[in-house]
Every structure is written in structure tokens, then in C-alpha cells.
Amino acid sequence: MDETGKQTTLWASVRDALEADLAAGHYAPGDKLPSEAQLAARFCANRHTVRRALASLAEAGIVHARRGAGVFVTARPTRYRIGRRTRFHQNLHAAGMHPEKRHVRLETRPSDMREAQALGLEPGAPVHVWEGVSVADGTPIALFRSVFCATRFPELKEAIAQTHSVTAALARCGLDDYTRRETRLSVSIADAIKARHLMLDPGAPLLRSVGINVDAQGRPVEYGRTWFAGARVELVVADE
């Protein structure tokens, strides 16, 4: 019975018990909950009942399911600042989180039309391309692709491989500062590949950022595209 005297259904009791566990801090944001089988055994219920309880928590935004991985406690969105100086590691440290960048691809190849136009190059000019996953406290929050002029920065690819940081790698190549000239934001959805990298379901909402960074003379340095996991990031656009 609940405090109104009405009988509480089993699935609601399971939901309330799990919500109490979360409120007590038994599971932290990002933690994986026990499996349906484990929860069914704990609450002496069938899996359908457990599934309904988890669905109710998901509707409230308290947990979320990852296909093939399980059900996880929803983490608070990462505040990510986009301004004249957008720096991944600084952003995450400022949010009290541990930053990490995982390599997906690092290569030198001819530029395509869009890359050449953004960087002020002739189509087909050589560029360094770095693709990877941005991670906050172990959770993927974005998939990125950064493109640089290979002729201007011949040692950049090796520097990125060693530092895993655009800022540090450019500093090694003699460029100590750069700023954001423009940022364009749009909404897209995760295809199968992006979903895999970001540990999302295909079709999950993404925030797409396209930016161009320039040096003090206004020459393009980096052409970047980033796909943020929509539910995990809060973009903050700043003047500075």
C-alpha cells in the first residue's frame, strides 16, 4: 500500500526502490545498473515487470539504455564552452571532469573541396586528418574530425600522436595561439558508425558543430567538425 491506502503495483514498487537507491548514491551517474535477470531475482519479479520499471525511470530521464550494453544512470550534461578560444582539455577540467581523446584515424591525404575551401588551399593539397572520440570521465561525449594544412605543419601528425592535443601539437609546430573565426551549429542524428563510437542507439540526436580556427594574422589553421551526443552535452556559446 502507498500512503494514500491504494495498492501499489509491483513494477511501481521496483521503480520506487531503484529510485531510492539512486537518491542514496548507491549508483553514480554513468554507472551500469544490474541486469534485468539480477533485478528480477532481487525483487522476486519477472523480467517484464523489471523492464516496465526501468522504462518508467527512462521516461523521467533518470536512466538510459544502450543497445547491447545495458541500462545506465544518466549523467549530468557536460557543460562545453564554445568561444574565441575553444579548448577541449580546459573545458573538461573547468567542469571538474577528466578529459581524454581516443584516436580513430590519423593520416595525411589529399584535401577534398570543402576542406580546401575552409583552409584556403587548392583542392587536392595535402592535409593532416585527425579523427577521434572526446571522452569525459570515461563516457564518450563527441566524435570529432580536425583537418590541417600538411605543408604548413609537416610535423603535426607526429605531434598529435604524441600529445593527443591540438593545442599542444600546434605549439610544438611553432603556433602558440589560435582563435575561433566561426562556429556553425546544427542538429543531426547518429548513423550506425557514429552511434557505435559514442555508445548510442542509431538515430540518437546529435549536435553538429563546424568551426574554423585561425592564427593571429587570420590565416586558417584548423577546419573542424564535431558531433556531440545531444543528451550528454550542454553547449555554452560565449563571446570571449
pLDDT one-digit tens code per residue, 4-51: 434 458 998 999 899 888 878 898 888 899 999 999 999 999 999 999
| Structural contact between residues 133 and 140, judged by C-beta atoms closer than 8 angstroms | yes
Q: Which residue has the higher pLDDT, 97 or 111?
A: 111
- Torsion angle defined by CA atoms of residues 173, 220, 160 and 94, in that order, rounded to the nearest 10 degrees: 110
Q: Which residue has the higher pLDDT, 73 or 155?
A: 155
User: Which pLDDT score is estimated for 46?
Assistant: 94
Rounded Cα distance, 172 and 179, in Å: 17
User: Which pLDDT score is estimated for 240?
Assistant: 62
| pLDDT tens digit sequence for 135-147 | 888 788 899 999 9
| pLDDT tens digit sequence for 162-221 | 999 999 999 999 999 999 999 999 999 999 999 889 888 788 889 999 999 999 999 999
User: Which pLDDT score is estimated for 65?
Assistant: 85
User: Which pLDDT score is estimated for 239?
Assistant: 67
Per-residue pLDDT at 238 exceeds 90: no
What 3-state class would DSSP assign to 95? coil
| Averaged confidence pLDDT in the chain | 89
| Residue whose C-alpha cell reads 583542392 in the numeric block | 123
The pTM of the full predicted model, rounded to 2 decimals, is 0.74
Q: 222, exposed or middle or buried, with CB in 10 Å at 0-12, 13-18, 19+?
A: buried
